C-alpha cells in the first residue's frame, strides 16, 4: 500500500505568545497571523520570511484579509475593529466593535461590501466595510460568540458560540430577494380561496425559522432573522432590539394631562354658578 506523508517545509516562529488566528490572501503568497502578544505578522509564503509586523495595545483574537488583499481587518480585547494597510503595515482606521466585550471573531463577505463580527457581548453585528457602520444586529446566542463565517455566495452567515449552538443567518440582501420573489409569485398566480382552519392560517403568517439539533452534540442548528438597526452608527443591542419604546409612555402622560384639565374646568363652572 502507498503511504502519503506530509513534509514540513519550514517553521516560522517570531510571536512571543499564543497565535489566536491566521488567514491567507487569495493569491496564496501571503499569510497573516494574530497573537495575544499584541502583534500581527504578515508572512511571505514564497520566501518563507516575515514581511511586515503590526503592533497594537490589545490581545489580537481574529484577523481577516480583504478580498483584494490590500488591507487587513483585526479584532481583539480592546473591543475595537482595526483596518491595516498590507503594504506598509500602517493603521488606517479604528471603529468601536462592541461596548461591553472583546471581539473574538470576524469575517468579510466575498464581494468586500460587508463584514460580520461577534464577541463576548453575545451579539452578531453586520457592518458596511467602507463606511465602518453597523447595519444589522443578530440577537439570540446564549454564550460568547467564538467564530463566524460567510458562505461562498455571500447569502448566509454561520456563527457559533461557547454554549455549543450554531446559528445560520440569512443576509439582508438575500432576505429582500426572497420577499420580492414571493410578491412576484403572488401577483402572477391568482388567489384561490379554500377553507382553512384558524390554526393553519396563523402558521402560514409566521416568518420561516427552523431549529434542529445536531446529532450527537449538545449544540443546536438554528435559522434566525436579523433585527434591523434603526440608526447609522453602531449602538448597544439592548437599545436596538428593545420592543417597548417611549412612545406609549408619552401618550399616557398626555391623556392624564387632558383629563386633569377637563376636571378643573368643570369645577370652575360649578363655582361660578
Does 128 score more than 90 pLDDT? yes
234, 96 Cβ separation under 8 angstroms: yes
* Between 253 and 98, the higher pLDDT residue: 98
The CATH fold of domain 100-186+209-227: Methylamine Dehydrogenase; Chain H (2.130.10)
Does 201 score more than 80 pLDDT? no
Q: How much is the average pLDDT of 4-23?
A: 92
Cα distance between residue 38 and residue 53, in whole Å: 10
Give the range among 40-49, 74-83, 207-216 with minimum mean pLDDT: 207-216
Residue-wise DSSP of 181-240? HHHHHHHHSPP------HHHHHHHHSPP--EEEPTTSS-EEEEE--EE-SSSS---HHHH
* Between 222 and 179, the higher pLDDT residue: 179
Cell numbers found for residue 28: 496564496
101, 120 Cβ separation under 8 angstroms: yes
At residue 187, the pLDDT reads: 77
Q: What is the pTM of this model?
A: 0.68
Position 183 confidence tier, pLDDT thresholds 50, 70, 90: confident
Give the range among 28-32, 210-214, 252-256 with minimum mean pLDDT: 210-214
Does 127 score more than 50 pLDDT? yes
Helix (H/G/I), strand (E/B), else coil: 205: helix
Position 243 confidence tier, pLDDT thresholds 50, 70, 90: very low
Closest to 146 in 3D by CA, of 166, 129, 130, 127: 166
What are the pLDDT digits (tens) for 56-106? Answer: 999 999 999 999 999 999 999 999 999 999 999 999 999 999 999 999 999
Does 8 score more than 70 pLDDT? yes
Cell numbers found for residue 160: 457559533
220-224 and 166-170 strand pairing: parallel
* CATH level 2 (architecture), domain 17-96: Beta Barrel (2.40)
CA atoms within 13 A of residue 27's CA, in its CB half-sphere: 11
Backbone angles phi, psi at 260, to 5 degrees: -65, -35
What b/e sequence results for 109-144 when a residue is b if at least 16 CB atoms lie within 10 Å of its CB, and e otherwise?
A: beeeebbbbbbbbbbbbbbebeebebbbbbebbeeb
* Averaged pLDDT score across all residues of the chain: 78
- In terms of Cβ atoms closer than 10 Å to its own Cβ (0-12, 13-18, 19+), residue 197 is exposed
At residue 227, the pLDDT reads: 56
Cα distance between residue 186 and residue 200, in whole Å: 19
What residue spans define the domains of the chain?
A: 17-96, 100-186+209-227
At residue 156, the pLDDT reads: 94
73, 117 Cβ separation under 8 angstroms: no
74, 33 Cβ separation under 8 angstroms: no
Amino acid at each position: 500500500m502507498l503511504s502519503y506523508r506530509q513534509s514540513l517545509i519550514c517553521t516560522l516562529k517570531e510571536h512571543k505568545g499564543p497565535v489566536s488566528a491566521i488567514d491567507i490572501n487569495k493569491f496564496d503568497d501571503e499569510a497573516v497571523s494574530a497573537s495575544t502578544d499584541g502583534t500581527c505578522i504578515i508572512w511571505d509564503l514564497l520566501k518563507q520570511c516575515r514581511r511586515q509586523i503590526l503592533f497594537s495595545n490589545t490581545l489580537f483574537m481574529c484577523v481577516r484579509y480583504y478580498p483584494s488583499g490590500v488591507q487587513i481587518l483585526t479584532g481583539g480585547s480592546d473591543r475595537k475593529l482595526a483596518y491595516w494597510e498590507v503594504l506598509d503595515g500602517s493603521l488606517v482606521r479604528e471603529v468601536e466593535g462592541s461596548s461591553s466585550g472583546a471581539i473574538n471573531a470576524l469575517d468579510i463577505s466575498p464581494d468586500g461590501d460587508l463584514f460580520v463580527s461577534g464577541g463576548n457581548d453575545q451579539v452578531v453585528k453586520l457592518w458596511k466595510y467602507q463606511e465602518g457602520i453597523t447595519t444589522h444586529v443578530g440577537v439570540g446566542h446564549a454564550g460568547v460568540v467564538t467564530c463566524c463565517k460567510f458562505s461562498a455566495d455571500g447569502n448566509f452567515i454561520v456563527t457559533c458560540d461557547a454554549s455549543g449552538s450554531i446559528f445560520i443567518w440569512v443576509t439582508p440582501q438575500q432576505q429582500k430577494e426572497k420577499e420580492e420573489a414571493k410578491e412576484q409569485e403572488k401577483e402572477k398566480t391568482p388567489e384561490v380561496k379554500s377553507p382553512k382552519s384558524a390554526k393553519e392560517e396563523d402558521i402560514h403568517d409566521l416568518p420561516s425559522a427552523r431549529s434542529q439539533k445536531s446529532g450527537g452534540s449538545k449544540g443546536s442548528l438554528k435559522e434566525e432573522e436579523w433585527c434591523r438597526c434603526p440608526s447609522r452608527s453602531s449602538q448597544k443591542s439592548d437599545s436596538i432590539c428593545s420592543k417597548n419604546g417611549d412612545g406609549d409612555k408619552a401618550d399616557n402622560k398626555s391623556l392624564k394631562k387632558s383629563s386633569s384639565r377637563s376636571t378643573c374646568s368643570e369645577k370652575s363652572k360649578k363655582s361660578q354658578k
